[in-house]
Amino acid sequence: MEKIQSVEAIEVAADGDELSSPWSSTVVLVKVTTTRGAVGWGEAPTTLMTHPVRTSVFEVGRFYEGVELERHAEALRRFEIYSFYRSRSMEATSALSAVDIACHDLVGRSVGAPISTLLGGAVRRSVRAYSNGWYSDCIEPEEFAAKARAMVRQGFTALKFDPFGAEYRSLSPAGLRAASARVRAVRRAVGPEVDLLIEYHGRFWPEAAIRAGRELDQYAPRFMEEPMIPEFNDALATFRREVRTPVALGERLLTPADFQSYLARGLVDILQPDITNSGGFTYGREIAGVAASFGAPVAYHNAFGPVQTAATLQIDAALPTFFLQESFEASWPVWKRSLVRGYSIDHGVFQIPTRPGLGIEVDEKAVDRFRSEIVDPIGPEPPWVIAGTWRRRSPRDSGRRVPRARRRSPPP
């Protein structure tokens, strides 16, 4: 029987001059190889946890290596038993997710079917995308408006953006006026037919989040994402009573039970799981079932790399309550695009791959070329923002990535 022989975490980054936000400048790929030499790929998130996730992949891999490929779910369930903090450790669930994705890629390839078939069958062949990452270096309302028009010209009918600049926890009157002016400018630029999605990045105290929600309601956004600091999410019940716009969240929820709890307590309207930290396809099926049981729309979070996109598209194909799909592809640097072939986005629509497994081919030469040991940067902006929106970059930095720490490994 074909067995899992090795599980390897590979960090990929580029040291060139191409622009990329801090959180998207590194990709963590997971390569699972079988005793027959077959290879499957997964991906894990980064965002100031690149090296901890790589270490967690090693821990997870110990449970998979030597296991028959067709019984890989047994390794996942055994890891559940041993990993005492798994339900609250994004490092553990991210590593587990990446390995699970890679195993499904291998199984799909072995039977000659896309993963959507393994999930019960595709109910759609394409999905509407919303663009994110398009507003780098935008501070003034007219800058947001100009870039928003450019994305609509590319065919996107939905745009997500964070209008809050460097406001954090509290929200000053001037900060709220500035955010409102930016959203107003985008709405006027693209008209009423384009969906606007407001990203809060989970940064405000409840009172500030509610004030912002009341103000931005007037621009008819399709949803407001992560309005408040996650520790205070119980206050989302009040937010939903006082703000008309639906609430979306989920990228920081790790288990199917987390999603069920938020829905049952009336804290969320639209779910945004991330397949690379919420258990891959194995838990993804359960999350989809939870969403369907509540009739909750699902818009998968998808902010990292191309293997994540390919995996997300496979689960989108089978989702009973699919809503929208996040896409950063239009804002990626060339090096990241070079890693994978096999899926496409055109005029704001993803075509879902139908080839076996993830339906993609990873360019291992490109992966080797961009292998890295870089630690996550500590730059002038937090790693979760779009570059140049928290603090405008100087002209000499225009078109260049945020400076990184030197190549080095973390201390043992």
- Active-site residue set: 201, 301
Cα–Cα nearest to 327, from 303, 293, 352: 303
CA dihedral 400, 401, 403, 407 (to 10 degrees): -120
27: phi > 0 → left, psi -120 to 50 → alpha, else beta; which?
beta
**Sign of the alpha-carbon torsion through 147, 149, 150, 156:** positive
The H or E element containing residue 60 is helix 50-64
CA dihedral 261, 267, 273, 278 (to 10 degrees): -30
Cα–Cα nearest to 105, from 256, 254, 4: 4
Residues 6+ apart with CB under 8 A from 348: 128, 129, 130, 131, 154, 155, 156, 157, 158
Residues 6+ apart with CB under 8 A from 350: 126, 127, 129, 309, 313, 316, 325, 327, 343, 344
Q: In 3-state terms, what secondary structure has residue 11?
A: strand
The Cα–Cα gap between 200 and 248 comes to: 10
E-strand stretches of 217-312: 223-225, 247-249, 270-271
The Cα–Cα gap between 129 and 108 comes to: 25
Please state at what angle helix 173-190 crosses helix 141-153, rounded to 10 degrees: 30
The answer to whether 208 and 230 are in contact (CB under 8 A) is no
What are the two backbone dihedrals, phi and then psi, of residue 326, each rounded to the nearest 5 degrees?
A: -70, 145
The Cα–Cα gap between 241 and 251 comes to: 23
Structure tokens belonging to residue 387: 């570059």
